[in-house]
A and B are shown apart, each in its own frame.
Chain A
Amino acid sequence: MLSPQITEKIDYELTKYPADQRQAAVMSALRIVQTERGWLSQESMSEVAAYIGMPEIAVMEVASFYNMYDLAPVGKYKISICTNISCMLRNSDEIVDHLKHKLGVEFNQVSADGKFCLKEGECMGACGGAPLMIINNHTMHEFLTPAKVDAILDELK
Chain B
Amino acid sequence: MAKQSAKSPAPMMTDPKGQTLVCLRTLSESEPATLATYLKLGGYQSLKRLVTEKTKATDIITEVKISGLRGRGGAGFPTGLKWSFMPRYFDGVKYLVCNTDEGEPGTFKDRDIIRYNPHQLIEGMAIAAYTLGARVGYNYIHGEIWQDYETFEAALKEAKEAGYLGENLFGTNFSFDLYAVHGYGAYICGEETALIESIEGKKGQPRFKPPFPASYGVFGKPTNVNNTESYASIPWIMQYGGQAFADLGVANSGGTKLFSVSGHVEKPGNYEVKMGTPFAELLAMAGGVWQGRKLKAVIPGGPSTAVIPASVMESTTMDYDGLSKARSSLGAGSMIVMDDSTCMVKALHRLSYFFYEESCGQCTPCREGTGWVYRVLDRIVKGQGKMEDLDLLTDISKNISGRTICALGEAAATPVISFIKHFRAEFEYYIEHGKSMVDSKAEQG
Contacts and interface: CB of A to CB of B under 8 A. Distances in A.
Contact of A140 (B103, B145, B181): B145
A73 interface: no
Contact of A85 (B146, B147, B270, B303): B303
B181 A137 contact: no
A53 to B, nearest CB: 11
Interface stretch (B14-22, B64-72, B106-114): B106-114
Interface string A77-91: 000100111101110
B329 interface: no
B377 interface: no
A72 interface: no
Contacts of B138: 16
A66 B204 CA distance: 8
Interface stretch (A23-31, A97-105, A107-115, A145-153): A23-31
B105 A85 contact: yes
B181 A89 contact: no
Contact of A128 (B202, B260, B342): B260
Contact of B108 (A27, A61, A121, A128): A128
Given A62-B201, A85-B105, A89-B264, A126 B111 contact: yes
Contacts of B357: 122
Interface string B111-146: 100000000000000000000000000100011111
Interface string B276-318: 0000000000000000000000010001000000000000000
B203 A125 contact: no
Contact of A123 (B147, B354, B360): B354
B201 A122 contact: no
Contacts of B106: 85-86, 123, 127
A127 B144 contact: no
B219 A18 contact: yes
B364 to A, nearest CB: 18
For chain A, which range describes its interface: under 10, 10 to 19, 20 to 34, or 35 or more residues?
35 or more
Nearest to B264: A89
B228 to A, nearest CB: 11
Nearest to B299: A85
B263 A138 contact: no
Contacts of B269: 128
A71 interface: no
A69 B351 contact: no
B201 A24 contact: yes
Given A21-B219, A125-B108, A16 B144 contact: no
Contacts of B146: 134, 137-140
Contacts of A118: none
Interface stretch (B5-13, B184-192, B234-242, B378-386): B184-192
Contacts of B204: 65-66
Interface in B309-362: 334, 336-338, 342, 347, 350-351, 354, 357-358, 360
A68 B141 CA distance: 14
A123 B411 CA distance: 15
Nearest to B286: A128
Nearest to A138: B146
A125 B342 contact: no
Given A125-B103, A128-B108, A61 B202 contact: yes
30 contacts: A18-B93, A21-B201, A27-B182, A61-B203, A62-B202, A65-B360, A66-B184, A66-B186, A68-B184, A84-B105, A85-B336, A86-B105, A89-B263, A89-B337, A90-B263, A90-B264, A90-B268, A122-B185, A122-B358, A123-B106, A124-B142, A124-B145, A125-B103, A125-B108, A126-B111, A127-B260, A127-B262, A128-B108, A137-B144, A138-B146
